[in-house]
Amino acid sequence: MFDHKQIEKKWQEFWQQKSIYKADDGSDKPKKYVLIEFPYPSGTGLHMGHLRPYTAGDTYSRYWRMRGHEVLYPIGWDAFGLPAENFAIKTGVQPKVSTMENVANSKRQLQSWGMSFDWSREINTTDPEYYKWTQWIFLQFYKVGLAFEATGLINWCPKDKTGLANEEVVDGKCERCGTEVEKREMRQWYLRITAYAQKLIDGLESLDWPEAVKLQQKNWIGRSDGALLKFPVGGKSIEVFTTRPDTLFGATYMVLAPEHPLVKEITTADQKAEVEKYVTWAGSKSEKERTSVDKEKTGVFTGAFAINPATEEKIPVWIADYVLANYGTGAVMAVPAHDDRDFAFAKKYKLPIKKVVAPEKESDEEPFTGEGKLVNSGEYSYMPTDEARQHITADFGLPKVQYKLRDWVFSRQRYWGEPIPLVHCPNCGIVPIPEDQLPVVLPEVEKYEPTGTGESPLAAIESWVNTTCPKCQGPAKRETNTMPQWAGSSWYFLRYADPQNVKEFAAKQKLQRWQPVDVYFGGMEHTTLHLLYSRFWNQFLFDQGHVTVSEPYLKRVPHGIILGPDGEKMSKSLGNVVNPDDIVASHGADTLRMFEMFLGPHDATVSWNDQGVVGVRRFLDRLSALQIDPQVQSGKNIHKLVKKISSDIESFKFNTSIAAFMEFLNENSKINQSDLETLLKLLAPFAPHITEELWHNLGHNDSIHQQAWPVFDAAMVKDSEIEFVVQILGKTRGTIMVKFDASQDEVRAAVMSNESTKKYLEGKQIVKEIFVPNRLINFVVKE
């Protein structure tokens, strides 16, 4: 057995003193930029959810260093925002103080895990020298009109007492605290992410990301191709976007969102009271409640009639809560014969139902006239044509592409965030802070709890709020909302390239060296939040000429969740939380790292198992006691192991690598020194401490992590015999052993001479043979 407490601390100090993980900007080695999602420093410290991607990234980084690459594996702290502020409120400690304490604790944990981060590039989003550039980037958005102020309905979390972006609302609830979200009309700052909707879709095509992640982003952006149609009503027009303009002839009524601006203008006097009552009632409902598929459809007639531009018939205009003002145009043309929701609504309120059928043609060459044929029916069968869509769009509307994506609500009514670098001047309007006066430093306050009034706690600090207009030098007031927690993380990967730069957020030369990120380890939960936002910021900065590539991350590697020993999500209330610190203390960091990776495939959901921890520690103890015998000859096994581990790391199959190590040790109780050194090098990315210790015990003075990765002999990894699968009509009937690279004739002969397989071919005619070299032979036969 080895003393993990003694050796781990020793080698962590050694690595730090030697700075062996520091990335060299000027190196002529090929670069490899490996990134993990930097943590927010919570009061409870880092947990198993952090360990999984960080260990994977560390193993991957160590491997590529040994492969001769200059690896950038940086770390920092996403310390602004709700998590840090809520912890401060809970403990009664100032956010600045609690954040510093939490950062120190999290840093201690990371170092105790033996992570090979380049600590010289450590960043913190709450550092004024960092958020100076977050503010600078905001001003670049503002200069070109992509940051703007507007009053509108926003998502409001009553518990966190702040506005939320659409991406922060999951199933109608705050993604952070789970509280049901309300709608409030408030003054807000927005980033016009919608201007990049198509670029964000197009950029996905070149990325090596899981298809599920790409699809999730595409669906969130939600491109729809259709037509914008206008329905005249009382001297005005109701605009409707539809992907089915070919059903226009079947539109028998219209529905507006209760909040639609035309509702007040078109409602007749006799319907006014009923409409106003419904508008108030609908306003009290959440979007989730209003759009639920299962809820009963409700609505009120406005008393107004619009004109169907295709039929020139009058059709009634209703309001209903299932139509949302912030989606599309806030109005729909209802075609009940071809839409389940419209059909249910029409049935309930006895509205007409007309089915559109395509006009009959004498021949396929006859052009579409644009005239539909109306049939009263409750049926749903309808055969649309692209030709019909095109003609109806041309005659009655305009082609239009619409996106579900909404502009990013960017301001928060909280204290702990980056101040927005603008002032409000009664003479000049909104004026940006000059760039040479950045950063606008977040002031220290006594009361930082959210007010719930729609104003940030900063609004109460008159000495900070009252300032001078940079333009006219007259009295002005600072913007008191702060940026969201996603601001600092939308560009942190750029700052790592040049973290000490005081003149710009990163020098172009250094960005050219490191961009883009080669591999980004992270969770699926950030697909439509951080991943989308940071792609938007990077694309914008690329268009402005500030960065060197349009897409920030070439490859995304998601990880699965680690459940408690009971198979449930780790939770204090369930008492199933496994603290990484406890495992480091009892079994060592190498055991923790290896067992976490051994639990299962990196992208799978797995359950913790205390017995497995013991098994991994036993493996490391056996490794440390492995005997060197110079009489033992090197064989094929060590070459096969080199090939296996190399392939597994590059394909993120860490669990099968560890299984291969265990199998190798089971088969080799003694080993010569050369093979032992190869084994230690292969294991070094997984268990950096014990391998460093054993490497030095062999008489070496330099670090094992600075050695060249072993190379296998291709001739030595080939088996002289391999197992061949024998199939009859696609069904496996047995296996045979044949020499490696045996020909089809040789394999057939072996099948015919093997007692267990030849019986399936006796008395049958072989019609066809399907032969896969070194794998299988399949006989297609008939009686």
Per residue in 254-312, pLDDT (tens digit) is: 999 999 999 999 999 999 999 999 999 988 777 777 877 777 889 999 999 999 999 99
What residues contact residue 428 under an 8 Å CB cut-off, 6+ apart? 469, 471, 472, 474, 476
Alpha carbon of 21 to those of 594, 648, 705: distances in Å?
20, 23, 9
Average pLDDT, the chain: 91
Phi, psi (deg, nearest 5) at residue 401: -105, 130
Within 10 A of 262 (CB to CB), how many other CB atoms are there?
21
Are 80 and 126 a contacting pair, CB within 8 Å? Answer: yes
Amino acid letter, 334: A
C-alpha to C-alpha distance for 138 and 131, rounded to whole angstroms? 10
**Chain centroid, CA 634 distance in Å:** 46
Question: What's the 3-state SS for 651-663?
Answer: CCCHHHHHHHHHH
C-alpha to C-alpha distance for 327 and 291, rounded to whole angstroms? 12
Q: Between β-strands 162-164 and 147-157, what pairing exists: parallel, antiparallel or unpaired?
A: antiparallel
Exposure b/e, 33-53, CB count within 10 A at least 16 = b: bbbbbbbbbbbebbbbebbbb
Q: What is the DSSP letter of 412?
A: B
The DSSP element (H or E) to which 373 belongs, if any, is strand 373-376
pTM for this prediction: 0.86
Position 156 scores a pLDDT of 83
Position 361 scores a pLDDT of 44
In terms of Cα–Cα distance, which of 321, 305, 315 is closest to 251? 315
* DSSP SS3 for 515: coil
What residues contact residue 114 under an 8 Å CB cut-off, 6+ apart? 8, 11, 12, 58, 589, 590, 593, 688, 689
Position 371 scores a pLDDT of 44
In terms of Cα–Cα distance, which of 395, 367, 402 is closest to 248? 395
Sign of the four-CA dihedral 448, 453, 456, 462:
negative
Structure tokens at 211: 């298809």
**Chain centroid, CA 333 distance in Å:** 35
Are 470 and 440 a contacting pair, CB within 8 Å? Answer: no
Position 380 scores a pLDDT of 31
Sign of the four-CA dihedral 533, 536, 538, 540:
negative
Position 385 scores a pLDDT of 65
Give me the percent of the chain exceeding a pLDDT of 90.
Answer: 72
* DSSP SS3 for 480: coil
C-alpha to C-alpha distance for 556 and 520, rounded to whole angstroms? 5
- The residue assigned the tokens 């990894």 is 717
**Chain centroid, CA 206 distance in Å:** 16
Structure tokens at 617: 């520690």
C-alpha to C-alpha distance for 295 and 280, rounded to whole angstroms? 18
Q: Is the peptide bond before 316 cis (omega within 30 degrees of 0)?
A: no
Amino acid letter, 624: S
* pLDDT < 70 positions in the chain: 356-385
Alpha carbon of 598 to those of 609, 653, 656: distances in Å?
11, 10, 7
Amino acid letter, 102: N
Packing angle between helix 636-650 and helix 673-683, nearest 10 degrees? Answer: 10
Are 37 and 722 a contacting pair, CB within 8 Å? Answer: no
What residues contact residue 360 under an 8 Å CB cut-off, 6+ apart? none
Position 292 scores a pLDDT of 76
Within 10 A of 2 (CB to CB), how many other CB atoms are there?
19
| Per-residue pLDDT tens over the stretch 324-380 | 887 889 999 999 988 888 999 999 999 999 876 655 544 444 443 444 444 443 333
Exposure b/e, 402-422, CB count within 10 A at least 16 = b: bbebbbbbbbbbbbbbbbbbb
Are 87 and 102 a contacting pair, CB within 8 Å? Answer: yes
C-alpha to C-alpha distance for 641 and 590, rounded to whole angstroms? 20
How many residues make up the chain in this entry?
783
Position 356 scores a pLDDT of 67
Position 90 scores a pLDDT of 82
Are 411 and 168 a contacting pair, CB within 8 Å? Answer: no
Exposure b/e, 480-495, CB count within 10 A at least 16 = b: bbbbbbbbbbbbbbbb
C-alpha to C-alpha distance for 186 and 153, rounded to whole angstroms? 6
Position 358 scores a pLDDT of 54
In terms of Cα–Cα distance, which of 94, 95, 91, 98 is closest to 81? 95
C-alpha to C-alpha distance for 620 and 625, rounded to whole angstroms? 9
C-alpha gyration radius of the chain:
33
Are 422 and 431 a contacting pair, CB within 8 Å? Answer: yes
In terms of Cα–Cα distance, which of 609, 578, 576, 574 is closest to 595? 609
Nearest-10 Cα torsion for 735, 741, 742, 747: 30
